[in-house]
Structure 1
Amino acid sequence: MSSYDDRPWLAVYGDQPADYAIEFESALDMFRTGVERDPSGVALRYFDGTITRRELDELTDGLASGLLANGFAPGDRLAVYLQNVPQFVIAMVATWKAGGVMVSINPMSRQRELSYLVTDSGATVLLALESLYDQVAREVVPDTDVRLVLTTSELDFQTRNDERLFAGVTRQRHEGTVDLLELIDRHRGQTPPPVGLRSDDVAFLTYTSGTTGVPKGAMNTHRNVVFTAQVYRDWVRAGRDGAIFGIAPLFHITGLIGHVAVSLLVPAPLVLAYRFEPQVVLDAFVEHRPASTIGAITAFTALLNAPGCSRDHFASFTSVYSGGAAISPTAEQAFLAATGKQVHSAYGLTETTSPMTVTPLGATSPVDPTSGALSVGVPAPNTVVRIQDDEGRDLPLGEIGEIVAAGPQIVAGYWGKPEETAASLPGGALKSGDVGFLNPEGWVFIVDRKKDMINASGYKVWPREVEDVLAEHPAVRESAVVGVPDEKRGETVKAFVSLKAGAAVTEDDLIAHCKERMAAYKYPRSVELVDELPKTVTGKILRRELRG
């Protein structure tokens, strides 16, 4: 079978339908149905605090009414500048109830970045942690369209105040701001007027990382959100066996869909722990016994390397997925050996509203015999993934090219950027910027990012292949491979490597390890040992920072 339109991957789904109905007009309808199904069930757990679905409905009614009373109008944007706290979910749902669009902002953003995101989105309301307002936002807000600043604390909705996370944190009140919970209390018991959200309306703006120019606001619609939440429920089984653990940052598309949206759909409890701290997360696993999660493989590696990590910490999980970056077969096997659980692969981008491809729960991702790469799954339902050359022509199955996807999860475009939309989303299909291939059964394999390809003496070297070989060495915890200038070869291969605790190995040992296993033009000519590799808050390794 050689046609993408024949969708050979459908066989992987077994008896599931080829065409997959989207169940709700909007994500708000999805939330309301979940409340009706289980009003007394727990919606959110945050350390020792809980919020039921009925309470979440009441809190969001109060906030939506408060927003409208302060001039917020349908179509307006509310920017959320928070860690993984219940207020994030409250703000998301309340924004929809007020007919608006949520803008999710990385809490690691500093003044220049925050200023750009708030200005570009045209947000009129900003919700920030008190500490982030004090340290960053207070200098930004006066030069933006923000008319209302809401602040809140990570100490709210729980009483444990874990010193590992909250040491030195105190409540702060800032002039010109309004406390979130006080605003909700002033409007508690009020019901906002009905809003007619449609499937094509924008649910939230999620900003790309800006690795190739300035960040762009992807317009994730309500159709996108509902569809991908269903994919997580039905093919990942998120929430169907118990609580979902929010290991990924909620501002990121993985957290927005793989944690929040699917928890609203099922409905299922969502467990939050402020931010990723391995020991705190492991303790929360034991306390709350969640059934599913999805996160970057780097986060799972950090958990496995945390003191005292054991199989018991993962005993309750029935669904564990890795997204955000392709994982190596070595990492997959290491997780299985340490936890007794299979980590499944999924793949998506901000512009695909999380999953573009997914390994159905219980299926085993194949390993490509030539490259040694582990598949990132098959195209999600209603999704067609193609491999194309630089001129946009389809390549035969098995050939390497750019991954291009079309389906209900593809965003409507980039906020205020029609030229960028036309370039990256021609005809509504996404040109991912990732290089890979499909095998004849329709399994997708990622080779690397197009921009990360190394040209060594005219030969193409894909960093991920070298990283996978390095991962096979027992001393290696993580690695990142980049191209560096070389007078003779144009570029040559350099590896940055962090080691496992207590491991000892030399740079020459690692070079020899690769040289024995790779073609002469591929193996790294230099290795630099580092304590930690630079990463985004979502756990992706930042190769660009290593190029210097």
Structure 2
Amino acid sequence: MPRAASQTALDSWRSRVRAAPGSTALVYFDRTLSVGETDDLSDAVAVVLKERGVGCGDVVGIALQNCPQFVLTVFALWKIGAAPLLINPMYHGEELEYLLSDSGAVGVVCDTREAEHVSATGEQVDAWSLATSSRHFQTRDDDRVLGPEPAAAHQADLVELAVRRLGERPGVIIPDPASCAFLTYTSGTTGPPKGAVNTHAAVLASASGFASVAGLDERDTVLAMAPLFHITGAVINAVVGLVSGSPLVLTERFHPEVVLDAFVEHHVTFTVAAITAYLSLAGSTRATPEVFAGVRALYSGGAPVSPATVESLERRLGHYVHNVYGMTETTSAVVAVPLGTRAPVDSASGVLSVGKAMPGVTLRVIDPDGSPLGPGGQGELEVSGPSVVPGYWRNPDATADAMPNGALRTGDGAVVDADGWVYIVDRLKDQINTSGYKVWPREVEEVLLRHDDVQQVAVVGLPDAYRGERVSAFVVTKPGSAVTDMDLIALARKYLAAYKAPREVRLVAHLPTTTSGKIQRRHLRSQNLNQQGNNMI
């Protein structure tokens, strides 16, 4: 892991370059880049970006999937003192324009497939775009790293430009640990998205702390299964691998069959991904314990995991999936299940623990007045420590509201027991009020997930003229299942008080999720439930 003198992930990377320039840094399908090659190419990209006018303190968007160009651009921006704005490549129109406008980004690096709409949007806010092809680096059919012409004919490809500038250096800049390393926007569930300022110090603290909990070092091979444009993928997949000395395996977009190939071909030992990704892998007929024979640790973050799901995955994959918890505002991981430890289940709610506080992290559970509760008390989780962001980008009011006195109020309902195990009961705003009774959706979901035919569940409160809100469940069943909505209502009534049991169950093909795997309950609330197949009681 990084030397004690390291204050940023770039410091740690430079130490790795000096110590082992010939070791493998990146693996992309059948091509590899050594540490030295990665450093040289990122220097050349930095030269190209400086020529585009990028200077210290500027923000540049990266709208790429998991490819080497993502890593090269991040390093290049850090080397010239600029900050990467992480952008979901699927963002179009107003979503993209809002991020570029609010962040003040001077440019965007994107895939050739997205170049046209990114360029058009950038023109609205005076930001240039530079395209690159995901097909670069994928083959050794020839010795060039050049690919086809980019979609926008007036733009030269990023890699093509970088290869022409190999050997040139951008000049030495040492980033201030308090400056922005990643600008990452929240999902905007409670208003417009807000830009979290993930500092260089916070990125290193999160990556180093998680690596120590998971026991990662240069003997591992890290698979970037989570998207790098999300804080989980950026920090506890990419940065963790790059600063711990591990090869980082990239597979562009997530596809279960491609990822299964990567586990075998590249001898993957470690990854972090949303539970939905693991469920997708488990759904393949090729997913057997033999495929994961070389794995040392699997972690899941971004969305709640039920005890039943963990048990099912362990039977299917041959490995226990450890929980990890974090937020955009905590620069990813702050709570994790220590490697080799099995998380306990909260007896009151049936919720599986997300772990214990990572090194340097302080947790409190507080009541609505901000007063701390003792062990076992249920309230809002508050987090403080070196990985918590100092605030939101150019938004002091939102900062003061979410981080009074520097501690982050997460909005998550939680319990911390006497042994330090953390249980996330639910988002506070998702609590259902039915006939004056309070219901946590997670508690209902955990019961429904006990059914062998149930794969995913989301429980929400929907408007009800009599009760105010009624408990409603959306359920994804396993292929070939014959379970009915009334079967599941009966199951819930067996284990829950009458007011907690869903009054309707809807069987659906899939649930809406964010890129990090979180189920978007607000989308379910907005759907019309008066369709055939619902039973309301």
**TM category, shorter:** over 0.9
- For the pair 1:70 / 2:52, whether they are aligned, the reply is yes
Q: Which runs of 4+ in 1 moved over 3 A?
A: 20-23, 169-173, 238-241
2:32 corresponding residue in structure 1: 50
The answer to whether the Cα contact below 8 Å between 1:130 and 1:153 also exists between their aligned partners in 2 is yes
Runs of 5+ unmatched residues, structure 2 = 142-146, 527-537
Query: Once the 2 structures are TM-superposed, how far is the Cα of residue 325 of structure 1 from its aligned partner?
Result: 1.7
Distance in 2, Cα, partners of 1:22 & 1:348: 24
Distance in 1, Cα, partners of 2:445 & 2:53: 52
1:143 corresponding residue in structure 2: 124
- For the pair 1:129 / 2:111, whether they are aligned, the reply is yes
Local SS of the residue matching 2:287: coil
| Structure 1 residues 137 and 385: CA distance shift in structure 2, 3 A | same
Local SS of the residue matching 1:260: helix
Letter in 2 for 1:513: L
Deviations 1:493-513 (A, max 9, x none): 111111111111111001101
Distance in 1, Cα, partners of 2:255 & 2:325: 24
Query: Once the 2 structures are TM-superposed, how far is the Cα of residue 530 of structure 1 from its aligned partner?
Result: 0.6
1:40 corresponding residue in structure 2: 22
- Equivalences for residues 139-538 of structure 1 within 5 A: 139-146=120-127, 148-159=128-139, 171-538=149-516
Letter in 2 for 1:111: G
Local SS of the residue matching 1:481: strand
The answer to whether the Cα contact below 8 Å between 1:27 and 1:222 also exists between their aligned partners in 2 is yes
Local SS of the residue matching 1:503: coil
Compute the RMSD of aligned alpha carbons: 1.6
Structure 1 range deviating more: 363-372 or 396-405: 363-372
Letter in 2 for 1:113: E
Distance in 2, Cα, partners of 1:389 & 1:360: 28
The answer to whether the Cα contact below 8 Å between 1:278 and 1:303 also exists between their aligned partners in 2 is yes
| Structure 1 residues 355 and 22: CA distance shift in structure 2, 3 A | farther
Local SS of the residue matching 1:311: coil
Deviations 1:315-363 (A, max 9, x none): 1110111111221111111111112211111100000011111111012
Percent identity over the alignment is 45
1:88 to 42, 64, 70: 70
TM-score norm. by structure 2 comes to 0.94
Local SS of the residue matching 2:491: helix
Distance in 2, Cα, partners of 1:483 & 1:170: 51
Distance in 1, Cα, partners of 2:402 & 2:156: 40
Letter in 1 for 2:79: K
Local SS of the residue matching 1:259: helix
Deviations 1:116-140 (A, max 9, x none): 1111111112100011112x21320
The answer to whether the Cα contact below 8 Å between 1:239 and 1:292 also exists between their aligned partners in 2 is no
Deviations 1:409-439 (A, max 9, x none): 1011111101101110111110001001100
1:9 corresponding residue in structure 2: none
Query: Once the 2 structures are TM-superposed, how far is the Cα of residue 160 of structure 1 from its aligned partner?
Result: 8.7
Distance in 1, Cα, partners of 2:171 & 2:367: 50
The answer to whether the Cα contact below 8 Å between 1:24 and 1:30 also exists between their aligned partners in 2 is yes
The answer to whether the Cα contact below 8 Å between 2:381 and 2:413 also exists between their aligned partners in 1 is yes
Letter in 2 for 1:125: G
- For the pair 1:25 / 2:7, whether they are aligned, the reply is yes
Q: How many residues get paired?
A: 520
Considering Cα pairs closer than 8 Å and 6+ residues apart, tell me whether 1 or 2 has the greater RCO. 1
Distance in 1, Cα, partners of 2:366 & 2:31: 49
| Structure 1 residues 540 and 170: CA distance shift in structure 2, 3 A | farther
Local SS of the residue matching 1:516: helix
Query: Once the 2 structures are TM-superposed, how far is the Cα of residue 309 of structure 1 from its aligned partner?
Result: 1.4
Query: Once the 2 structures are TM-superposed, how far is the Cα of residue 23 of structure 1 from its aligned partner?
Result: 4.7
Distance in 2, Cα, partners of 1:541 & 1:441: 29
Distance in 2, Cα, partners of 1:239 & 1:217: 31
Query: Once the 2 structures are TM-superposed, how far is the Cα of residue 22 of structure 1 from its aligned partner?
Result: 6.0
